[in-house]
Amino acid sequence: MNYSLLAPEILATAVGMLVLILGLIFKDRARQSVGIISLLSLVAVLILVILRFTDTQVFFNGIYQVDTYANFFKALFALAAVLVILNSSQYMERFGNKKSEFYALMMFATVGMMVMASAGDLLTIYIGLELMTVSFYILTAYLLEDETSSEAGLKYLILGAISSAVLLFGMSLVFALSGTTVITQIAGQISREPALIAGVILIAAGFAFKIAAVPFHMWAPDIYQGAPTPITTYLAVGSKAAGFAALLRIFIFAIPLTQFNWSLVLAILAALTMVVGNLIALTQTNVKRMLAYSSIAQAGYILAGLAAANQYGLKGVLFYAMLYVFSNTGAFAVATAVEVNTGSTDRDAFNALGQRSPMLAAVMTICLLSLAGIPPMAGFAGKFYLFSGAIQAGYLWLAFIGLLMSMISVYYYLLVAKAMYIGSNPQTGAMTVKAPARLALWVCLLATILIGVYPALLSNWAQTAISIFM
């Protein structure tokens, strides 16, 4: 076995621990360097994964799989982590003297996600999931002096534990019927019977919690709003993508559609998620909370592709998950900048941002338009794939709901744009944005436009990644 293919995971874990130890040894001096070390190692992970994108290997009798699909998601996680860490430079003062732990936890959460993407076994998925989630419990409550942050952390812990229990129960039912936890072996061992259905539903519910699908979304707004904004970003783009990565692998490989039409279950969840997420987002006046509801809605769009379970739909899932990293991180990065500068993320705080900091306003507008699915931004191409997939799979009604809800979403996204360009603000003067965050903003802006203008590049990449299912 070629263990060098595990280098990304090993590197990330080792650096996570190194950063922790550095923080212990050099209590005061290691502040800057730990950030740079984490950043560089994540970039290295990204490069490693991309360079060896098509190298595949099955480890430990199918328990751990390094394939194009996993590599796609690993690249996504590393990229998201890089952007989040760059962006968190704006937030560092608020973390007090707990900086090295922040980076270490970011690394561990990333490792957890990577394990989820690569795991070929239900329990390994669970371990990855817990590693990720436990890291997030702490990161969510990271603003020690801030009550909402602590509240968010506690709520996430309690609800996360409940959902883990549900997930584990589902896995145990599937294990009881099939006698194996290796995903690729399950399909051959099961037949259509009620306990299996119960197991599948429970697994779906467990992951639906992670991706914040209705009705398992209730935690998301409170936690997204309370958590430090960079962490919110990572929760929204990373944790969600990891949930999709694992869910997709389990459902496609382990549960044949002929045994149980999980696709319909997911389609219903997708429709509910799109409707509820978008409708509640309409009424929000806090941008961070609006983005939380928007990310619930976005999960609904992605779920629609998963429900389609055909080439277009699955390609769309990967494509959308990736562009979502850029568009959502861009939007959250601007929200972070505004929060750090004005102390608020209310929509009023964004008033006249177009005059104060045209760059921030431009990034926000482009990213929001992309999330709304307006061409030529990336989001349009992504939704195009997702909804085409849904139509091909016969879910015309789902695509219709998706389009309708996209239209509604334009309203609340443009409310922010309106505030930025038409609103007036007694305060003037540009907002300060640290150089690393500025870099992240540029990356998000360019990638969002580039993917939208030339989608073929990412789409081919996604195509290669889903070839393992076809």
Partner 1 sequence: MLGDYATIGIFLLLTILFPLAALGLAWVVRPKPLPDEEKLTTYECGVDTQGRTWVRFRVNYFLYALVFLAFDIETIFLFPWAVRFKALGLFAFVEMLVFIAILLTGLWYAWKEGALEWY
Partner 2 sequence: MQNVLSLSWVIPFLPFLAFALIGLFLHRWPKISAALSILSIGVGLILSILISMIVFAGEAGFTYEVAVRWLNMPGLSVDMGLLIDPLTAVMLLVVTIVALLVQVYSLGYMHDDPGFASYYAYQSIFAGSMLGLVVANNFGQIFVFWELVGLSSYLLIGFWFGRNSAKDAAKKAFITNRIGDFGFLLGILFLQIIFGTLNYSELAGAVAGYGNTAILITVSLLLFAGPVGKSAQFPLHVWLPDAMEGPTPVSALIHAATMVAAGVYLIARAFFIFNASPETMLVIAIIGGFTALFAASIALVQNDIKRILAYSTLSQLGYMVMAMGVGAMAAGMFHLMTHAFFKSLLFLAAGSVIHALANEQDIWKMGNLHKKMPITTWTFVIGALALSGIPPLSGFWSKDEILLSALASGHTALYILGSLVAFMTAFYMFRLIFVAFFGDNKGGEQAHESPAVMTVPLIILAVLAVVAGLVGSPLMNNAFDHYITYPGAFHPAPNHSIMIISSLLAIAGIFLAWAIYQKKWVDFERIKIKMGGLYQLLYHKYYIDEIYAWLIKHFVDGTARLMEWFDLKVINGAVNGIAWLTGHLGITLRYTEDGQVQSYALYMYAGIIILLIAALCAVFTVLA
Binding site for partner 2 (CB under 8 A): 154-155, 158-159, 162-163, 166, 192-194, 197-198, 201-202, 204-205, 209, 214-216, 218-219, 221-222, 260, 265, 276, 279-283, 388, 408, 454-456
Q: Nearest distance from residue 465's CB to partner 1, in Å?
A: 30
Give the one entry of partner 2, partner 1, none that residue 92 binds, where binding means its C-beta sits below a cut-off of 5 to 8 angstroms depending on kind. none
194 near partner 1, rule: CB under 8 A: yes
Quick one: tokens of 85? 């860490």
Q: Does 404 bind partner 1 (CB under 8 A)?
A: no
Residue 429 engages partner 1 in binding (rule: CB under 8 A): no
By C-beta, is 23 or 354 nearer to partner 1?
23
Q: Of the listed pieces 13-21, 127-135, 312-320, 431-439, which binds partner 1 according to CB under 8 A?
A: 13-21
Q: Which of partner 1, partner 2, none does residue 403 bind to, with CB < 5 to 8 Å depending on kind?
A: none
Contact 376, 452 (CB under 8 A): yes
Residue 135, both tokens: 């890291």
By CB under 8 A, is residue 193 in contact with partner 1?
yes
> Rounded CA gap, 237 and 241, in Å?
6
Least CB distance from residue 468 to partner 1, whole Å?
28
- Does 343 bind partner 1 (CB under 8 A)? Our answer is no
The entry of partner 1, partner 2, none near residue 260 (CB within 5 to 8 angstroms by kind) is: partner 2
127 binds partner 1 (CB under 8 A): no
In this complex, which beta carbon is closest to partner 1, that of residue 13 or of residue 370? 13
Among residues 177, 181, 173, 179, the alpha carbon closest in space to that of 202 is found at 173
17 binds partner 1 (CB under 8 A): yes
Q: Is 161 in the site for partner 1 (CB under 8 A)?
A: no
Of residues 21 through 40, those in contact with partner 1 by CB under 8 A are: 21, 24
Rule CB under 8 A: say whether 20 interacts with partner 1: yes
Cα separations (Å) of 45 from 60, 77, 78, 383?
Answer: 22, 10, 7, 29
Residue 23 Cβ vs partner 1, minimum distance, rounded to whole Å: 9
265 binds, among partner 1, partner 2, none (CB under 5 to 8 A by kind): partner 2
* Min dist. Cβ of residue 77 to partner 2 (A): 26
The binder of 20, among partner 2, partner 1, none, by C-beta within 5 to 8 A per type, is partner 1
